[in-house]
Amino acid sequence: MKFFLKRLLYSFIVLLLFTAPAFSKSLPATLIVAQQTDPKTLDPAASNDVYSHNVSVQIYDRLFEWSDQMQIEPSLAESWTQKDPLTLNVKLKKGVKFHNGDDFTAEDVKFSLERSSKAPGGMTYFGNLDRVDIINPYEVDIVTKSPYGPMLSSLAHGSGSILNKKYVENGDKEVFFEPIGTGPFIFESWKSGDRIVMKANKDYFAGAPATDGIIFRNIPETTSRTIALETGEIDMVLSVDPIDMTPIEENPNLVLVAKPSVALNYIGFNNEKGPTSDIRVRQAIALAINQTDIVDTAFVKRAIQTVSVIPPSILGYEEIPPYEINIEKAKKLLAEAGYPDGFKLRFWTNENQSRKDTAVILQEQLKAINVDMSIEILEWSAYLEKLGKAEHDIYMLGWPGSADPDGCVYPLFHSKSSGTAGNMAFYKNARVDELLDKGRASVDPAERAAAYKEAARIIHDEVGVYVLAIPPVSLGYQKYIEGFFAYPTFVHFFRKVKKNLK
């Protein structure tokens, strides 16, 4: 009721203040895009969150990209050949310039990928990298320590972005507050907590962008983002919360995109310390959760309920029986774990409406097993930092996933990814590590699928995390927007997007 009263008040204000067509409010030739929060960083190798990568992929390019058909295609690469199981030879495009006028060369590729292999976000995708050998200024051999099936997929990931070696080495830590890449948009300014401004790279090697620039607006509150879209203050909003989908869908001036993703929304536990480090406690919590109630309510029936850590559209998925609610068994497990009278638990999340709603529902459900759960809402950067240090009890996050199963599960569950690399649950299982390594090393789809299926079953049985749902890729934009494709990974590209205001 509170939400609808708030929306009614906003709508009344909008009716009084805004009478012109929606498109008159935004800049005619500049795309204004709203996100829930600022990027954590514009160092593409330092973070895996979509808020950061949605901005950084506009500034930097990668050797390869995902096409609109979700096929790998060359970007800074001209051609490539798998010379042997460990060596990928890549010939590079010539004549590409960084935004400061420097030439893009093999030196930048070697520097960027080897740096990413040691960085918090990039090491998940490039930890298997042995070295990059420079054959000539426009040719490299990318050499891995062992065969690596998802190499092209990793090279298309945001953490594979190519930096200007000279600019980064000659600068200081502030270079990522004034980043330089080869990408379709050139960084201009960053007003923390408000906006990031970029202008079009008119000399972009693949063709100039269809707009004069992009402004990424930081609007934390979900209803405020939707109202800004309705009034024409912004052109597009990324990651529309389920509760705001219907108003956008019913507005004749707006377009709602809501289609299946390769992402997961999950409840995570601290597997390393505290009560949830005991498998019996995690299993007890799982037996007390009414998953359907959470998905139907917090996600307004807009998400796909699932329990597997691998989405249905990805290699290696198989249907796994869900946990069945059993309060008596859950209490027995807690007693065996040393908590016959229950215990207190802190639930952490950020300013995401579905996650906050999930927390409230979960708080009530866990009372049945005498778990007293408090809820804390954290600012995004602080939230990720604290999770990366294992300071949490229980939390909720999403993972954008990938078209390859490695990108869906290795960052979240391999012990080498523990912490800021993605495994915020600090989940560790030697057999799972072995299976994920096997999936990476193989190029046989059947062998890879078998490895991922077994790993998914183990993670489910041990409740490494509690998978809730596959959220839709959900965006809202003005009807005059053309040329936009919604990527199932939640990381989007805007070079071809234009505003047809005629």
Q: What is the pLDDT of residues 7-28, one digit of tens each?
A: 444 444 443 333 334 434 556 6
Residue with tokens 């590409």: 96
Burial code (b: 16+ CB inside 10 Å, e: under 16) for 458-478 equals bbbeebbbbbbbbbbbbbbbb
pLDDT at 1 over 80: no
- Tell me the whole-structure pTM to 2 decimals: 0.80
CA 251-253-258 angle, 5° bins: 60
H-assigned helices in 418-481: 430-441, 445-462
Looking from the CA of 162 toward its CB, the CA atoms found within 13 Å total 26
pLDDT at residue 18 in the model: 38
Give residue 298's pLDDT band: very low, low, confident or very high (50, 70, 90): very high
Average pLDDT on 129-158 reads: 94
Nearest to 91 by CA among 63, 116, 68, 69: 63
CA 268-271-272 angle, 5° bins: 135
Average pLDDT on 133-148 reads: 96
Which domains are delineated in the chain? 18-36+184-260+473-499 (3.40.190.10), 64-165 (3.90.76.10), 264-470 (3.10.105.10)
Q: How far is 170 from 155, CA to CA, in rounded Å? A: 25
CA 52-56-59 angle, 5° bins: 165
**Please, what is the angle between helix 405-413 and helix 430-441, to 10°?**
150
Which residue would you say has higher pLDDT here, 304 or 394?
A: 394
Range picked from 6-10, 44-48, 448-452 for highest mean pLDDT:
448-452
pLDDT at 381 over 90: no
pLDDT at residue 53 in the model: 92
Q: How far is 35 from 106, CA to CA, in rounded Å? A: 34
pLDDT at residue 262 in the model: 85
Give residue 173's pLDDT band: very low, low, confident or very high (50, 70, 90): low
Torsion of CA 180, 117, 48, 283, to 10 degrees: -170
pLDDT at 120 over 90: no
3-class DSSP assignment, residue 105: coil
Average pLDDT on 117-130 reads: 87
pLDDT at residue 74 in the model: 97
Range picked from 4-13, 370-379, 414-423 for highest mean pLDDT:
370-379
Residue 55 DSSP code: H
pLDDT at 452 over 50: yes
Neighbours of 378 (CB within 10 A): 17
Q: How far is 500 from 502, CA to CA, in rounded Å? A: 6
Q: What percent of the chain is predicted at pLDDT more than 90?
A: 71
Which residue would you say has higher pLDDT here, 246 or 48?
A: 246
